[in-house]
Amino acid sequence: GAVVSQHPSRVICKSGTSVKIECRSLDFQATTMFWYRQFPKKSLMLMATSNEGSKATYEQGVEKDKFLINHASLTLSTLTVTSAHPEDSSFYICSARAHGAISYEQYFGPGTRLTVT
């Protein structure tokens, strides 16, 4: 149980285009989903927290108009990188937390490797 999927696992896009990454909780309802970004040889950095049915809360320094997050249902959150640039190339990881779960009970997706050319 408690499986989180991400789609796509890998995407290459051209500079200036937008790309959408999906995060799904497959066997539980996730009231909260988190989006992380991981730079090579660096830590996971929390980008934003999304709660189902409400606006995402972005961390300091993360452009909300650049990284659009939608959490429209209890099993799906999407991250759209708008007008992507090469510096947006990174590994994006989502995690999901079930309703009523304790803070640390986050289940992680496998990640999406974004390459902007």
Q: Which residues bind another protein (CB under 8 A)?
A: 4, 34, 41-46, 49, 57, 93, 95, 103-106, 108-111
Nearer to another protein, 84 or 111 (CB): 111
The residue among 51, 4, 54 whose CA lies nearest residue 27 is 4
Nearer to another protein, 57 or 73 (CB): 57
* 86 three-class SS: helix
In whole angstroms, how close is the CB of 52 to another protein at the nearest point?
16
In whole angstroms, how close is the CB of 15 to another protein at the nearest point?
28
List of residues 6+ apart from 18 with CB closer than 8 A: 80, 81, 82, 83, 84
Nearer to another protein, 19 or 23 (CB): 23
Q: Are 2 and 70 in contact (CB under 8 A)?
A: no
In whole angstroms, how close is the CB of 95 to another protein at the nearest point?
8
In one-letter notation, the amino acid at residue 31 is T
